[in-house]
């Protein structure tokens, strides 16, 4: 016979070998950073970050997680408008703009972002300096939080943010 040997197995109409079905959800749930979590959280998006894993492990509550996410978002927006730091989550270009870019934000937008950030920062500072740094390290910059003392500081700061944002402390996780 001339040429190379054919692979054994069923073939599609185009002549390619049919691959067996692999369950992508099962593959996601078996990733190393999800193995130590309770089964009900393995397929959720929260375990992708160390901060989300704290919620999945029961170290912080869903309300505290939500408050931390809100504070992270406003912190990144504040850094972008005040110091020109790039937003860590790239956004698409504006197709409605003539040059394809959104341009500089308006003065009102900058003042609104500063006002919201300053109010949250002041509320967080009422919890103390160490809880404020714990929230910055673990919720904003998503550094791993390993010891119990850091957990306590983080919870104290997040509790203050839950109160500031008016989030229901009994917030539950929705199944999707």
Looking at residue 100, what is its pLDDT?
A: 47
When pLDDT is averaged across residues 48-65 and rounded to a whole number, the result is: 90
C-alpha span between 69 and 139 (Å, rounded):
7
60 forms beta bridges with none
Q: What pTM value is reported for the model?
A: 0.74
For residue 21, what are its two tokens?
């079905």
- Under the banding of pLDDT at 50, 70 and 90, the label for residue 175 is low
Q: Is the dihedral of CA 159, 175, 46, 73 positive or negative?
A: negative
C-alpha span between 50 and 38 (Å, rounded):
15
Has residue 21 got a pLDDT over 60? Answer: yes
When pLDDT is averaged across residues 76-103 and rounded to a whole number, the result is: 67
Helix pair 107-125, 148-165: axis angle to 10 deg:
130
């Amino acid at each position: 016979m001339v040429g190379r040997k054919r692979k054994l197995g069923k073939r599609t109409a185009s002549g390619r070998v049919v691959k067996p079905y692999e369950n992508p959800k099962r593959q996601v749930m078996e990733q190393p950073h999800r193995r130590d979590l309770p089964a009900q959280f393995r397929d959720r998006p929260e375990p992708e970050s160390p901060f989300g894993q704290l919620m999945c492990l029961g170290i912080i509550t869903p309300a505290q997680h939500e408050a931390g996410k809100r504070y992270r978002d406003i912190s990144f927006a504040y850094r972008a408008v005040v110091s020109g730091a790039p937003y860590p989550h790239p956004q698409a270009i504006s197709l409605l703009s003539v040059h394809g870019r959104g341009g500089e934000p308006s003065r009102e937008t900058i003042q609104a972002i500063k006002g919201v950030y300053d109010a949250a920062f002041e509320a967080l500072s009422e919890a103390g300096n160490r809880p404020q740094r714990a929230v910055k390290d673990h919720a904003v910059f998503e550094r791993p939080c390993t010891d119990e003392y850091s957990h306590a500081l983080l919870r104290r700061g997040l509790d203050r943010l839950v109160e500031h944002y008016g989030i229901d402390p009994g917030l539950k996780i929705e199944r999707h």
